[in-house]
């Protein structure tokens, strides 16, 4: 029989042992009794999900994880005992391979805490409604995120791995274009942190985020990397050694003018359900740079970027794909890999080193 944990509430089964009927076990960590009760009922009502325990603090969560395994941790960012950001690393280690969904009022629109939580390892975030008004839209959003994060590693690893394309190194690397979504922020940090500073090609990033988050996202990247980082603005000239992030309300594209390349933002440029979308970015990079560019597809759900990657690959450019084991969601990178468009499939830091080895003469 599992030992009791102070501050934890588990659903009793026969002989007091929590039942294992749910496909996905969820640990709720929140100091608010009202929130815990409501979220507990929501999770238990979702097919395939069950609450393993509901605890009042990060300390209680760590104690529970010493003797139990869970699949997903719903973590409040701000708690009086020890806040979720401070406990993030310990919870990731104690609960491995559980994924963390940061569920907090501090994950609201534009909140810097959201970017920090994602950068520290949270797989996704979701804002709690004001005044504990948990409407249908919140329930639907929570269910959608739980479904994405519930996919077991064994199922992801069982997906077919395709033979990669050969890399034909052209004269000079003129642009790197990165696409990502769920789980992409820590992957971006890992990649840029490992990228040789001598690789000075301009870097374009399309990460699925609302527009209010983008300034915080850009500042956070700049704090971790030596390169200047900008939220892309329409008409700005592309500069070597700089990083440009797609704004949340427009697709990031490029065009040539007078021999140089400038940024073009178009809010209705793509039929993709995402805004910003990775496809328009990769398509414009293919037109402007052809084989002298490199595409990178990092963790994310769905298949945004597949159409653009196909066009870029047709120009002879390499497409670097994050591997299944290190991806939070192997949707976007997996779609490119299964289409036979990937040049290599590696962890983000290894992708950075591979780029340097391919494009620097003395790397």
Q: Write out the catalytic residue numbers.
A: 181, 208, 304
Sign of CA dihedral 244, 249, 251, 253: negative
How far apart are the C-alpha atoms of 280 and 263, rounded to whole Å? 12
Strand pairing class (251-257; 293-297): unpaired
* Residue 20 tokens, joined: 């294992």
Q: Which residues pair with 297 in a beta bridge?
A: 179, 321
How far apart are the C-alpha atoms of 269 and 246, rounded to whole Å? 13
How far apart are the C-alpha atoms of 176 and 130, rounded to whole Å? 40
Cβ-in-10-Å burial (0-12, 13-18, 19+) of 170 comes to: middle
* Residue 171 tokens, joined: 């004269």
* Residue 357 tokens, joined: 């080895």
* Residue 96 tokens, joined: 């491995």
Q: For residue 237, how many C-alpha atoms fall within 13 Å in the half-sphere facing its CB?
A: 6
Q: For residue 218, how many C-alpha atoms fall within 13 Å in the half-sphere facing its CB?
A: 23
Sign of CA dihedral 330, 334, 336, 337: positive
How far apart are the C-alpha atoms of 326 and 224, rounded to whole Å? 20
- Which residues, other chains included, contact 189 with Cβ-Cβ below 8 Å and sequence gap of 6+? 119, 221, 224
Strands (E), 144-196: 175-180
How far apart are the C-alpha atoms of 102 and 113, rounded to whole Å? 10
Count of positions (residues) in the chain: 363
Phi then psi dihedrals of residue 78, to 5 deg: -115, 115
Among 178, 181, 250, 192, residue whose Cα is nearest residue 221 = 192
């Amino acid at each position: 029989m599992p030992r009791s944990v102070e501050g934890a509430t588990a659903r009793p089964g026969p002989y007091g042992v929590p039942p294992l009927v749910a496909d996905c076990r969820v640990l709720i960590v929140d100091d608010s009794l009202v929130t815990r009760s409501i979220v507990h009922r929501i999770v238990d009502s979702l097919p395939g999900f069950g609450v393993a325990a509901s605890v009042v603090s990060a300390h209680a969560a760590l104690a529970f994880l010493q003797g139990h395994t869970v699949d997903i941790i719903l973590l409040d960012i701000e708690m009086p005992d020890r806040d979720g950001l401070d406990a993030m690393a310990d919870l990731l280690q104690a609960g491995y391979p559980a994924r963390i969904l940061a569920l907090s009022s501090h994950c609201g629109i534009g909140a810097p805490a959201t970017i920090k939580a994602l950068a520290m390892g949270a797989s996704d975030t979701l804002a709690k409604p004001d005044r504990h008004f948990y409407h249908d839209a919140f329930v639907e959003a929570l269910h959608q995120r739980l479904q994405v994060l519930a996919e077991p590693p064994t199922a992801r690893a069982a997906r077919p791995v395709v033979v990669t394309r050969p890399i034909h190194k052209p004269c000079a690397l003129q642009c790197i274009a990165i696409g990502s979504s769920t789980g992409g922020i820590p992957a971006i940090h890992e990649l840029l942190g490992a990228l040789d500073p001598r690789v000075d090609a301009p870097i374009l990033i399309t990460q699925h985020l609302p527009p209010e988050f983008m300034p915080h996202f850009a500042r956070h990247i700049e704090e971790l990397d030596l390169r200047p980082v900008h939220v892309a603005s329409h008409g700005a000239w592309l500069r070597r050694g700089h990083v440009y992030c797609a704004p949340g309300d427009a697709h990031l594209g490029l065009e040539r003018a007078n021999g140089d390349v400038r940024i073009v933002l178009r809010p209705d440029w793509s039929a993709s359900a995402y805004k910003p979308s990775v496809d328009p970015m990769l398509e414009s990079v293919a037109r402007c740079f052809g084989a002298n560019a490199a595409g990178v597809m990092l963790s994310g759900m769905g298949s945004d970027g597949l159409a653009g990657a196909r066009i870029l690959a047709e120009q002879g450019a390499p497409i670097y794909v994050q591997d299944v084991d290190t991806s939070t969601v192997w949707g976007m990178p997996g779609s490119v890999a299964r289409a036979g468009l990937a040049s290599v499939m590696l962890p983000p830091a290894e992708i950075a080193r591979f780029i340097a080895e391919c494009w620097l003469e003395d790397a």
